[in-house]
Structure 1
Amino acid sequence: MAGLNVSVVSAEQRVWEGSASQVIARTVDGEIGILRGHQPMLAILAEGEIRVTTDGGEKITVDAAGGFLSVDHDNVTIVAGTASIAAAA
Structure 2
Amino acid sequence: MAEMIVEIVSLERSEWTGTARMVRVRTSEGDIGILPGHEAVAGLLRPGDFALDPVDGARVEGTIDSGFVFVDNDRVTIVADNVELTSAAA
Please give the secondary structure, in 1, of the residue aligned with 2:81: strand
d(CA) in 1 for partners of 2:87 and 2:58?
14
Please give the secondary structure, in 1, of the residue aligned with 2:8: strand
Aligned residues: 88
Runs of 4+ in 1 over 2 A off after TM superposition: none
CA positional deviation for 1:50: 1.2
Say which structure is richer in strand: 1
1:47 aligns with 2:73: no
1:6 aligns with 2:14: no
- The amino acid that maps onto 2:45 is L
Identify unmatched segments of 5+ residues in structure 1: none
Superposition RMSD in Å: 1.5
Match of 2:37 in 1: 37
d(CA) in 1 for partners of 2:21 and 2:56?
8
d(CA) in 1 for partners of 2:35 and 2:72?
12
d(CA) in 1 for partners of 2:84 and 2:56?
21
Please give the secondary structure, in 2, of the residue aligned with 1:86: strand
Match of 2:80 in 1: 80
CA positional deviation for 1:62: 2.1
CA positional deviation for 1:56: 2.7
Match of 1:15 in 2: 15
- The amino acid that maps onto 1:79 is V
d(CA) in 2 for partners of 1:87 and 1:19?
16
Identify unmatched segments of 5+ residues in structure 2: none
